[in-house]
Amino acid sequence: MQAEYAAWLEAMPEATHDSPTGQALQAIVELDLDEIVAIEPPRGFGRDERLRPGRGVLAASLAASVLPGV
């Protein structure tokens, strides 16, 4: 998405680069996302198979509480 914002910024007329939209696009383009990509989230943030919907005891208990008779 960052590349799309860069293309959008480049397509804008030079006179609008100082507008709020141009400034926001510039800030996004300048973000260094390498550090964010390198972050390893703790277990349970969509990476723990036991916590994914449709799997295991947690999913069964949630289904039973939402869908009586399941």
Domain chopping of the chain, boundaries: 1-39, 40-70
User: Which residues, 6+ apart, have CB-to-CB distance to 23 below 8 Å?
Assistant: 17
pTM over 0.85: no
Q: How far apart are CA 61 and CA 70, in angstroms?
A: 9
User: Which residues, 6+ apart, have CB-to-CB distance to 20 below 8 Å?
Assistant: none
**Mean pLDDT of all residues in the chain?**
78
Q: In this predicted model, which residue has the larger pLDDT, 55 or 31?
A: 31
- Is it the case that residue 14 has pLDDT exceeding 90? yes
- Region of 11 (left: φ > 0; alpha: ψ -120 to 50; beta: rest) is alpha
Model confidence pLDDT, tens digit, residues 32-56: 988 888 888 777 766 655 555 555 5
